[in-house]
Amino acid sequence: MSGATVRMIDVPAMAAWIARHGVETLTERLVSRLREDFLRWEDFDKTPRVASHSARGVIELMPVSDGRRYTFKYVNGHPDNPRTGLQTVTAFGVLADVATGYPVLIAEMTLLTALRTAATSALAASVLARPDSRVLALIGTGSQAEFQALAFRRVLGIETLRVWDTDPAAMDKFERNARALGLEVVRAGSAAEAVAGADIVTTCTADKALATVLTDDLVTAGMHLNAIGGDCPGKTELDPAILRRAAVFAEYLPQSRIEGEIQHLEDDFPAVELWQVLSGAAAGRTDPNQVTVFDSVGFAVEDFSALCLLADEFDGTESAVDLVADPRDPKDLFSLIAAAGIER
């Protein structure tokens, strides 16, 4: 009996790889990979993610293929999990060879998704925010916050962070981590105080609700808004009035109209996909005083980029799992049972 082993990168291996190279270095490499993949957007077989909703949260599958490689990610979103010591979001992903259908890599993606979300945010801001942006406001200081801060420092040169969260312990955690990383942190007493004077505002809250964490009166001319918390039907963060006076950009509109901030609005509300801006097919920011919004829900091509980067460049300690049944005679699957010594 022979087995077909699959590379496996678990949480300790992923954490060690990120720590060895650094969040900022890997984010910068991932921004480059994302840009390359967004510029070949039409190569991908795309579909909105498949979601299974419950009263407690959502479980999703996110598949995509470029005809050579296929990836999918399993990911959940359960906002109440931290109350019992569990993560709000967990994920793992699989990369497969399209020619054979065989999986070649399975990897943890809770950490990897945090990297790719931050990299996508920074990539979008690099073409949508004002070039002189130096102050970032973070509304929500949960699991994603440090990754966002480091990505914006490396890619856009952000110097100051203004932060606010309804949970003081989350702000304590972020402030402790951020200061250890050499980031300048201003702890605000409200969302309004956090965004005052900010060039870029990232909203990254987790509540599965039609929330308004940022109201229209708080948004000033020239701001770029990076809305990443709203990512399923019935879960948003922005006052719809903001969207109506802003230039709005998204990843994949068939998914964003269901899950993004623009789910509030009419089906033909004008929005531009990010790949069009990167390719020059559409304009990004056209005026220093313009308000721009990246309505980011997370899309499978971003996970594809992250998994392919991992498969091509991972240089840590990985393991292998005998995941694929591979009998000597490909038509005699039952032989594996006989070889294992199990009675028929």
Cβ atoms within 10 Å of 319's Cβ, excluding its own: 11
Angle at 326 between CA 303 and CA 301, to 5 degrees: 10
Q: How many Å from the N-terminal Cα to the C-terminal Cα in the chain?
A: 17
Angstrom distance (rounded) from CA 61 to CA 72: 7
What is the helix (H) or strand (E) element at residue 61, kind and residue range? strand 58-65
> How far is Cα 314 from Cα 26, in angstroms, rounded to an integer?
11
231 counts as catalytic? yes
Residue linked to tokens 């694929």: 324
**CA–CA dist 128, 200 (Å, integer):** 10
What's the CA gap between 276 and 89, in Å, rounded? 30
Beta strands in 142-244 (DSSP E): 160-164, 184-187, 200-203, 210-214, 224-227, 236-238
Catalytic residue among 165, 199, 231, 295: 231
Phi, psi (deg, nearest 5) at residue 41: -50, -40
Report d(CA 17, CA 131) in Å as an integer: 31
The DSSP bridge partners found for residue 203 are: 139, 227
Distance of alpha carbon 267 from alpha carbon 185, whole angstroms: 39
* Block residue for tokens 């000597």: 328
Active site residues: 231
